A = this chain, B = another copy of it.
């Protein structure tokens, strides 16, 4: 809250009441009387204004509007930290020169299938293995994931291939177990504003990957990162996975302009998941290329050795050969933008 616009009907007494309220927060004001409206500028460190104090100004009968200029996030802001955050996961760096590739099936289905996929994506250049042990499913009647068993299989895939594990946390009560098996804790799109879950992963020492909510603004997404960081965990990365629009040709609309926007606003690494955004296999590679060209620090790709038998999202999974072809393209694009992959 930096600018307060008064209603046309506001009196001098109103103006004084607003000024008094601002001064009670330890700040001063600058009054600008226009021909149509009076504007009150707030002087001082407005980033410290509590949301409830701003709301109480907004609720005053003489106030028409309140505008914020200083961003509501602090720790996540590029103003707070100028240099890029580089997150080291078992020696692999996210946010550095190399564009990292996270690959694997949507859900962990069995030991055998996961090992097969892990071997293949490792062979073709992936750095991280992904897979859901807990799956957020629209229907209560659908496969909900293998749970702890799934996490054990993931950990085994890491032991076998050396690739660190990315997996999703849905419930704070599962965090303790997950700390044993996972290397990066994913917060899914549907939980981006599950504030209790965010606070919980703010208190651990493992990196957190926050997927963008289905209709979250970039600012809200950065506030989700701020939630985690406010509790002490600064190893946060953001993952664009498409937003909901009226378009029906793709499952969601991949918002690639979020990549350069985030690069300006924050120092945190930015990952792009084209698989969930487009929802169809043959659209994944072009969007992966575009993500790298736009400046992403990593991409997350669904790969399955037998999509027709996948228990979740087989439709959008690349076959190993398709993944290999995509990796070859990605490497060239990465070089073209001064990175490597």
Interface residues of A (CB under 8 A from B): 2-3, 5, 8, 30, 32-37, 39, 41-47, 50-52, 55-56, 58-61, 65, 67, 69-70, 72, 79, 136-144, 170-173, 190-191, 193-196, 198-199, 213-215, 217-220, 223, 226-227, 230-231, 243-250, 253-261, 264-265, 277-278, 282-283, 286-287, 289-295, 307-315, 317, 329, 332-333, 335-337
> Do A138 and B72 contact each other (CB < 8 Å), given the known contacts A245-B243, A246-B215?
yes
Cross-chain contact B41 with A36 (CB below 8 angstroms): no
> In the complex, what residues of B have CB within 8 A of residue A260's CB?
282-283, 286-287
> Do A58 and B315 contact each other (CB < 8 Å), given the known contacts A46-B36, A244-B246, A245-B243?
yes
> In the complex, what residues of B have CB within 8 A of residue A194's CB?
170, 190-191, 194
> In the complex, what residues of B have CB within 8 A of residue A143's CB?
50-52
> In the complex, what residues of B have CB within 8 A of residue A244's CB?
215, 246
> Apart from A194-B194, A286-B294, what 10 extra A-B contacts exist at CB < 8 Å?
A36-B47, A41-B41, A50-B141, A59-B307, A191-B194, A215-B215, A253-B255, A257-B286, A289-B337, A333-B333
> In the complex, what residues of B have CB within 8 A of residue A65's CB?
69
Cross-chain contact A173 with B173 (CB below 8 angstroms): yes
Cross-chain contact A137 with B172 (CB below 8 angstroms): no
Cross-chain contact A32 with B35 (CB below 8 angstroms): no
Cross-chain contact B253 with A243 (CB below 8 angstroms): yes
Residue of B nearest to A246 (CB): B244
Cross-chain contact B5 with A69 (CB below 8 angstroms): yes
The CA-CA distance from A191 to B171 in the complex, in Å, is 12
From B32, B50, B52, B253, A30 is in contact (CB under 8 Å) with: B32
> In the complex, what residues of B have CB within 8 A of residue A42's CB?
34
Rounded to whole Å, the gap between the CB of A341 and the closest CB of chain B is 12
Cross-chain contact A312 with B70 (CB below 8 angstroms): no
Cross-chain contact A140 with B314 (CB below 8 angstroms): no
Cross-chain contact A249 with B283 (CB below 8 angstroms): no
Cross-chain contact A171 with B196 (CB below 8 angstroms): yes
From B213, B290, B313, A294 is in contact (CB under 8 Å) with: B290
- Pick 23 A–B contacts, CB within 8 A, sort by A: A3-B39, A30-B30, A30-B32, A32-B41, A32-B43, A36-B69, A36-B79, A51-B139, A55-B310, A56-B311, A56-B314, A59-B308, A65-B69, A138-B220, A138-B223, A171-B172, A245-B253, A247-B258, A249-B261, A256-B290, A289-B293, A290-B291, A335-B336
